A and B are shown apart, each in its own frame.
Chain A
Amino acid sequence: MPHTADVAVRIRGGSLKDLFATAAKAMFAVLVTKKANGPAAGLSELKIEKTGDTLEDVLKAWLDELLFEFQGNGRMLHRIKSLSVGEDAVSACVLVCDFDRASYDLKDEIKAVTYNELKVEKGRRGWQTMLVFDV
């Protein structure tokens, strides 16, 4: 990236669902590094229902929701239980747990998931996108 305060990741998925799930995992890979295996504490379900005018809006809304959960409530994504993605909406049920400093180190602080060069595209072998995080 032509800027020192960004992290960009390129993501592919066989389906939109895969793409969204991978994007969420990628974002957490930017946020934290795992250093030890430990039990997930305070597991709870979080329902995410978001709409947007475009697929890009929907993808951003989905990641924003998870980012806020992490930075606002200190809860991180543990597992995606169900996820369905349409052209203008996402509906998911995810398991979140407490962020545990014993098992994870914080890596980069993401200020925002940006619209920069954000384009969700369908290729012949599935979906792809590039995410730029403002860190």
Chain B
Amino acid sequence: MWNGPLEKIDDYRWRIPKSYKPGMRVDGIIYADEKLLKDIRHDKALEQVANVAFLPGIVKASLGMPDIHWGYGFCIGGVAATDVEKEGVVAPGGIGFDINCLCATTLIFSELGYKKRIKDFEGNFPKEILRCMDFTREEEEHTRILGFLKQKPKQTILNIVTETGRQISATGDHPFYTKDGMKPAGKLKIAEEVATYPFSGVGYAEPSSEIILDEEDVRKALHELGKDSRGSAVEQIVHHAKKRGLLPLRYDSWQLPYLLRIMGYCFGDGSICFTGKRNRGIVCFYGPKEDLKKIKEDMKRIGFEAGLYSRPRHHKIKTAYDLVEFDVVENWLKVGSSCFAVLLAALGVPVGNKCRNPYRVPPWLFKAPLWHKRLFLAGLFGAEMSSPKTMTGLGYNFYCPVLSMNKTLAHVENGKKFLRDIWTLLSEFGVIVHTISERKEFTNKKGLVSYRLRLIISNKPDNLIKLYGMIGFEYNQKRRFLANAAAGYLRLKKRIIDERKRAMVVASTRYEGGAPQPQYIFNLLTSEYVSQRFLERSLYESSDREPRMRGDDRTFEEYMKEATEGLGKSGMIWEKIEHISDVEYDDDVYDFTVEHKDHNFIADGFVVSNCGVRLVRTELEVDDVTPHIKELITALFQTVPAGVGSEGAIRASAKDEKEIMLHGAAWAVKQGYGADADLEATEERGAIVGADPDAVSERAVQRGKAQSGTLGSGNHFLEVQVIDQLFDQELVDAFDLRLGQVTVMIHSGSRGFGYQICDDSLKTMQRCLEKYQINVPDRQLACAPVTSPEGKNYLGAMRAAANYAWNNRQCLMHLTRTVFEKVFGASWQKLGMRLVYDVAHNIAKIEKHLVNGRERTLCVHRKGATRAFGPGTRTCLRRTGRPASR
């Protein structure tokens, strides 16, 4: 029984609000009355409607038709359209990985926080800078790549799995860092500890070349900041920016990633001001010296010098609770460059006092790839977010991370909007936010009251693993270290809790099932993390409580001490090896291009076999047929191959197969299996344009061979039917139908051909989730952008399958006609066996629709659903509208 939220829109429409699951991009809308809805709630179809709402680029809503029911990934009766033109946003796959390995798909870290498969570094490695560790200084460092190695190893590859499920494959001679120094993988032993890096970042995506900032924008910003065109100041600033290659600034400018994290930090602990007679721009950053040094390095990279200063200061602050006095050494990094200040201002960084000025997250950032967003957020968090910390007295649980800011009363609403922008960005990483809170903070010397706004992030372990593991902190080395340790700890904690949960279930099932002795259960289930006492409690004390960490488990502090011993503040942690196995590995052909311009998607896994339905009328009445039923059914069984492994009498050569993929039902008609009028009564005239036989694998062709003109198995059928009820006289007249008339309905698809295409593409699309950083809650919703090579390839193959299916149903109808001719001794024309209509009900089509008043090109997915054109919309069926089927 599904118990998610359903809001009633009217008597026949229900909404699953997109707030139901973080990650849903649109609402789900179900078309059903209350009675139908009761049935629909019985399976997981509604959950699937919500899952489909995750698809990047989806427009308006994820739709569920009246009788939806569970299907693979997409529910049957589900409809969703994605925008081909609009740049969708990407979401991360978020999987664990490691560093330093030679296997092709091993993910490697860039210093900029994204990860790429090692094989994708070929050709462009000199441009990349990687994260590494300085073992002597026990610090994280970064390094250039000086060479790239590519080989086809025929030797055994080892797969190493750690206690938290982290795994890596490497050649036996590849070195790993252990407590005894570097050791080849082949010499590693189970339970030995290896250094791992818990931060996992986000996948890489090629940024677009769209311009973010051009000369005009900078001039405009200068004007707004009061720099007029007198003298040469404006020209000089523009000249400086151009000289450094910063104008125009594009998403794919190499400087942008550095600017992003500097900007993020500046939104927190930075300031921009224009002072002096010449209104000179100054940017300052505040924080610990070693963090500011990192900012200085980034500044240098993009061509600006910065000076690091410090001075002791005495502070006296009156808070809501107390008067606080303290001495600190204040450090600041000062960049005296109008050019840099204006650049940041034009990019959307607030100028002047942040409490008293309104600002938002720059809108252009929302269009950037996820790893860009990460850099901004991690820079901001490095300055402003609370450090990972466990609760006092509860060393296993972490406090909710908090991002806070102060605003004067007039700007409280603006501050909340800014935090809501951050919330939106976080949701793209799947990070859950609890709320935004507001508290009156203090009154300053001038009598201005300020309010403290806090964005409070959920402290659930999974959420923190995402926050610390995918986003983390830039510049702030202390928080960066703590975040890594926390991510490592939480992964271990999760594993412990999961193991206890499993043990609890097994123990009570065994006990209730009459295990011989409780001691037997204890012996069976006790382990490093499951004690006998725990098992006793789960047997004898009825408790619904979830298993927890307990007294003798390591607290975060204890864990951190042990797990980072000898690794300093590098962020690395020790993890025990749990499993080592040999794997045979044969590197396949490489895929180097990363094409990502339009993030719109076609979902696979639900366009299962491109099947459809056709209805054939006859002039026969039920009384004409009844005496011949036995003969008719026997002849149909003999002539129309049905059931498992059926092979058809209709043979198609390799050349014919290609023709069928391209021209669909027209092939059958050309062979004499029908008439042109049949094509008229078939959707798309029995062939959709754009089929690409080259996109179809050999295997699909092989599996589809000899299956033309076969019905197949499963829920596919051929039925001899009688019309027993009429609903719309005018309509049935138009289609020449009447009560008591015999009809034949055929439900079939593209057979093995389509199944194989579907399966082939599912494999490809699984890889696309990582490649294009798509976040879907069900792997059966694996997908790729419509305009990506994988998307295009799939559409080409799927259209070939749709055409194959139309041809198949045409052949099936032809065979049926021959049977009727034989049994009733008249030609099919005389028997009036005309095709009423044939429509596909599992297909993705590119269509133009009005969305919010604008015509958009959409990729519409219909699974177990057909497009319904009302009367007046299409020329050939203008009078009646187009028949729909299910």
Interchain CB contact (< 8 A) of A87 among B159, B644, B702, B762: B159
Given A86-B159, A111-B755; A116-B644 close (CB under 8 Å)? no
How many A-B Cβ pairs are below 8 Å?
101
A1-48 interface (Cβ within 8 A of B)? 2-5
Interchain nearest-CB distance for B639 vs A (Å): 19
Given A53-B766, A72-B699; A108-B713 close (CB under 8 Å)? yes
A39 to B869, CA, bound (A): 58
A115 to B759, CA, bound (A): 11
A107 to B105, CA, bound (A): 39
Interchain CB contact (< 8 A) of B506 among A2, A57, A114, A124: A124
- Evaluate contact between B584 and A115: CB separation under 8 angstroms: no
- Evaluate contact between B585 and A135: CB separation under 8 angstroms: no
Contacts of B712 in A (CB 8 A): 109
Interchain nearest-CB distance for B285 vs A (Å): 41
Q: How many residues of A contact B (CB 8 A)?
A: 35
A85 to B809, CA, bound (A): 42
A2 to B644, CA, bound (A): 22
- Evaluate contact between A112 and B758: CB separation under 8 angstroms: yes
Tell whether A100 is near chain B: CB-to-CB under 8 Å.
Answer: no
Interchain nearest-CB distance for A77 vs B (Å): 16
Closest B residue to A31 using CB positions: B644
- At the interface with chain A, which of B9-17, B64-72, B344-352? B64-72
Contacts of B233 in A (CB 8 A): none
- Evaluate contact between A3 and B699: CB separation under 8 angstroms: no
- At the interface with chain A, which of B218-226, B357-365, B555-563, B575-583? B575-583
A31 to B72, CA, bound (A): 20
- Evaluate contact between A111 and B714: CB separation under 8 angstroms: yes
A78 to B388, CA, bound (A): 57
Given A84-B582, A114-B780; A4-B702 close (CB under 8 Å)? no
Tell whether B424 is near chain A: CB-to-CB under 8 Å.
Answer: no
- Evaluate contact between B585 and A108: CB separation under 8 angstroms: no
- Evaluate contact between A49 and B43: CB separation under 8 angstroms: no
Given A87-B161, A91-B584, A106-B645; A2-B44 close (CB under 8 Å)? yes
A88 to B96, CA, bound (A): 14
- Evaluate contact between A86 and B582: CB separation under 8 angstroms: yes
A72 to B585, CA, bound (A): 25
Interchain nearest-CB distance for B360 vs A (Å): 39
- Evaluate contact between A109 and B714: CB separation under 8 angstroms: yes
- Evaluate contact between B752 and A115: CB separation under 8 angstroms: no
0/1 interface trace, chain B 144-186, chain A, CB 8 Å (1 if under): 0000000000000001010000010100000000000000000
- Evaluate contact between A107 and B644: CB separation under 8 angstroms: yes
Closest A residue to B160 using CB positions: A87
Tell whether A98 is near chain B: CB-to-CB under 8 Å.
Answer: no
Tell whether B703 is near chain A: CB-to-CB under 8 Å.
Answer: yes
- Evaluate contact between A109 and B780: CB separation under 8 angstroms: no
Contacts of B643 in A (CB 8 A): 106, 109
- Evaluate contact between B608 and A109: CB separation under 8 angstroms: no
Contacts of A3 in B (CB 8 A): 69-71
Interchain nearest-CB distance for B516 vs A (Å): 16
Query: Which residue among B105, B524, B583, B779 has the maximum number of chain A CB atoms within 10 Å of its CB?
Result: B583
Interchain CB contact (< 8 A) of B609 among A57, A91, A111, A116: A111
0/1 interface trace, chain A 86-99, chain B, CB 8 Å (1 if under): 11111100000000
Given A2-B70, A111-B755; A86-B586 close (CB under 8 Å)? no
Contacts of B525 in A (CB 8 A): 124
Closest A residue to B76 using CB positions: A3
- Evaluate contact between B780 and A89: CB separation under 8 angstroms: no
Tell whether B743 is near chain A: CB-to-CB under 8 Å.
Answer: no
- Evaluate contact between B714 and A89: CB separation under 8 angstroms: no
Interchain CB contact (< 8 A) of B581 among A49, A87, A123: A87
Contacts of A116 in B (CB 8 A): 72, 780
Contacts of B584 in A (CB 8 A): 49, 84, 86, 89-91
0/1 interface trace, chain A 44-76, chain B, CB 8 Å (1 if under): 000001010100010001001000100111000
A87 to B157, CA, bound (A): 11
Interchain CB contact (< 8 A) of B159 among A57, A64, A88: A88
Closest A residue to B585 using CB positions: A89
Closest A residue to B605 using CB positions: A115
Contacts of A114 in B (CB 8 A): 72, 780
Query: Which residue among A2, A49, A87 has the maximum number of chain B CB atoms within 10 Å of its CB?
Result: A87
B611-639 interface (Cβ within 8 A of A)? none
Interchain nearest-CB distance for B707 vs A (Å): 10
Given A5-B714, A112-B759; A124-B524 close (CB under 8 Å)? yes
0/1 interface trace, chain A 107-132, chain B, CB 8 Å (1 if under): 11101111110000001100000000
A84 to B70, CA, bound (A): 35
Tell whether B593 is near chain A: CB-to-CB under 8 Å.
Answer: no
Contacts of B476 in A (CB 8 A): none
- Evaluate contact between A111 and B608: CB separation under 8 angstroms: yes
- Evaluate contact between B608 and A134: CB separation under 8 angstroms: yes
Interchain nearest-CB distance for A70 vs B (Å): 10
Tell whether B715 is near chain A: CB-to-CB under 8 Å.
Answer: yes
- Evaluate contact between A68 and B583: CB separation under 8 angstroms: no
Interchain nearest-CB distance for A9 vs B (Å): 16
- Evaluate contact between A109 and B43: CB separation under 8 angstroms: no
Tell whether B458 is near chain A: CB-to-CB under 8 Å.
Answer: no
A116 to B44, CA, bound (A): 12
Contacts of A72 in B (CB 8 A): 699, 702-703, 705, 752, 756
- Evaluate contact between A2 and B780: CB separation under 8 angstroms: no
Contacts of A5 in B (CB 8 A): 714-715
- Evaluate contact between A135 and B714: CB separation under 8 angstroms: yes
- Evaluate contact between B70 and A115: CB separation under 8 angstroms: no
Interchain CB contact (< 8 A) of B756 among A68, A88, A113, A134: A68
Given A109-B645, A124-B525; A2-B43 close (CB under 8 Å)? yes
Interchain nearest-CB distance for A92 vs B (Å): 9
A72 to B756, CA, bound (A): 10
Contacts of A124 in B (CB 8 A): 506, 524-525
Contacts of A84 in B (CB 8 A): 582, 584
Contacts of A57 in B (CB 8 A): 766
- Evaluate contact between B583 and A115: CB separation under 8 angstroms: no
B376-408 interface (Cβ within 8 A of A)? none
Interchain CB contact (< 8 A) of A106 among B44, B159, B644, B702: B644
A64 to B763, CA, bound (A): 11
Closest A residue to B44 using CB positions: A2
- Evaluate contact between B579 and A68: CB separation under 8 angstroms: no
- Evaluate contact between A115 and B779: CB separation under 8 angstroms: yes
Contacts of A4 in B (CB 8 A): 715
B750-782 interface (Cβ within 8 A of A)? 752, 755-756, 758-759, 762-763, 766, 779-780
- Evaluate contact between A68 and B70: CB separation under 8 angstroms: no
A46 to B766, CA, bound (A): 26
Closest B residue to A58 using CB positions: B583
A53 to B763, CA, bound (A): 11
A61 to B763, CA, bound (A): 9
Contacts of A111 in B (CB 8 A): 608-609, 714, 755, 758
Contacts of A113 in B (CB 8 A): 759
Interchain nearest-CB distance for A89 vs B (Å): 4
- Evaluate contact between B581 and A68: CB separation under 8 angstroms: no
Closest B residue to A114 using CB positions: B72
Interchain nearest-CB distance for A108 vs B (Å): 6
Interchain nearest-CB distance for B286 vs A (Å): 44
Closest B residue to A101 using CB positions: B645
Closest B residue to A111 using CB positions: B755
- Evaluate contact between A49 and B586: CB separation under 8 angstroms: yes
Interchain nearest-CB distance for B39 vs A (Å): 12
Closest A residue to B582 using CB positions: A86
Contacts of B715 in A (CB 8 A): 4-5
A-B contact pairs, 6 of them (CB 8 A): A5-B714, A72-B756, A84-B584, A89-B159, A109-B712, A115-B762
* Other contacts beyond A49-B584, A89-B583, A111-B755: 19, CB < 8 A: A2-B42, A5-B715, A53-B766, A68-B702, A86-B582, A86-B583, A106-B645, A107-B644, A109-B643, A109-B712, A109-B714, A111-B758, A112-B608, A114-B780, A115-B780, A116-B780, A123-B502, A123-B506, A134-B608
Report the 4 A-B pairs with minimum CB-CB distance, sorted nearest first.
Answer: A86-B583, A91-B584, A106-B644, A72-B702
